[in-house]
Amino acid sequence: MTDREFGLVENIRVIKEKRGAVILAHNYQLGEVQDIADFVGDSLELSQKAAETDAGVIVFCGVHFMAETASILCPDKTVLLPDIHAGCPMADMITAERLMEKKQEHPQAVVVCYVNSSAEVKAESDICCPSANAVAVIESLDAEEILFVPDQYLGNYVSTKTGKKMILWPGFCPTHARITAERIKELKHENPRAKAVVHPECRPEVIAIADETTSTGGMCRYAQREDVTEMIVGTEIGIIYRLRKENPGKKFIPASEQAVCPNMKSITLEKVLWSLEEMEPEVKVPEDIRLRAKNAVDRMLRVGARR
């Protein structure tokens, strides 16, 4: 640890205690931020942690929709997002207004929104789904018609897995779009023992050649398998820090060095400290939207609990 980190970590520890705060961090966060977190996980795991914590303050080291989900679940807690500009470009590819227009074209459709969406979009949806159990969410539905927003690649993956035909919104993650099947083939050739594990936000041709497709939490569990000694990691490269830390001696190869989400990287120790000192920026979902969005999130958590 550098002198800078040492001083910041100590100051964060003291103020965190004073505020009665819990720090939740997504698997893509900078290593230094993962190290000060009480819990590091994927979107579903983080919302489950937010729902069950006794802490009055949640410092969410992730992106805006994740902090909003915590606020939807815990309206009485203060949810801090250390960088209010940490958004998700994929979540921004749909708005509640555009979803309402689409719903008018398909009045019978059950609306499923990926958890990577705004609270307003969740409020217009029937059920939310995380990457961790998107297949289980779709299988839980008894519906003739499903409208899936905003990630076309996750939607296509789930549709292929379940055999359910879905209307897909044309959104995508710009970070995962940088991962190519050609590069994974090259890496497999250079590392013949490596398993290629990719995120369902990847393009269909990437998923088609992968050994496994799973959420970031699923990747962390997969890496711990005894038969896995080398892994080509098809997701945002921040997760490699955690994979290496938890699996010393195993080899983790990024599927693309360009798979960096700048929003996830915008949270630093300095911002976490400042956020706890100032008790801002706070993310709070207005009550009317929160109540409608909560139905969709609660349904997701009920399916998640059966995982």
Chain contacts with ligand 13P (rule: CB under 6 A): 27, 42-43, 116, 130-132, 173, 199, 201, 215-216, 236
Least distance in Å: CB of 33 to ligand SF4?
15
Selection from ligand SF4, ligand 13P, none that 43 binds (CB < 5 to 8 A by kind) is ligand 13P
Least distance in Å: CB of 177 to ligand SF4?
9
DSSP-assigned letters across all residues of 220-268: HHHHTSTT-SEEEEES-TTHHHHHHHHSTT-EEEES-TT---TTGGG--
Does position 236 bind ligand SF4 by CB under 6 A?
Answer: yes
| Nearer residue to ligand SF4 within complex by CB, 12 or 151 | 151
| Nearer residue to ligand 13P within complex by CB, 80 or 239 | 239
Q: Is 28 exposed, middle or buried (0-12, 13-18, 19+ CB in 10 A)?
A: buried
Q: Which of 24, 14, 30, 58 is nearest to 44 (CA)?
A: 24
Whole-angstrom Cα distance, residue 56 to residue 174? 34
| Nearer residue to ligand SF4 within complex by CB, 172 or 252 | 172
In the block, tokens 């789930």 appear at 158
Selection from ligand SF4, ligand 13P, none that 130 binds (CB < 5 to 8 A by kind) is ligand 13P
x/- track of binding to ligand SF4 for residues 258-297 (CB under 6 A): ---x-xx---------------------------------
- Sheet of 230-234: strands edge to edge? 212-213, 195-198, 230-234, 251-254
The SS3 of residue 143 is coil
Least distance in Å: CB of 45 to ligand 13P?
8
Question: What ranges in the chain are assigned the alpha helix state H?
Answer: 3-19, 31-36, 43-52, 64-73, 96-105, 119-123, 134-139, 152-162, 181-190, 204-209, 216-223, 239-246, 269-278, 287-305
Selection from ligand SF4, ligand 13P, none that 82 binds (CB < 5 to 8 A by kind) is none
Does position 90 bind ligand SF4 by CB under 6 A?
Answer: yes
In the block, tokens 């000192």 appear at 277
Does position 300 bind ligand SF4 by CB under 6 A?
Answer: no
Whole-angstrom Cα distance, residue 64 to residue 123? 16
Least distance in Å: CB of 140 to ligand 13P?
18
Among 116, 152, 215, 256, contact with ligand SF4 (rule: CB under 6 A): 116
Question: Site residues (CB under 6 A) for ligand SF4?
Answer: 63, 88-90, 116, 173, 175, 201, 236, 261, 263-264
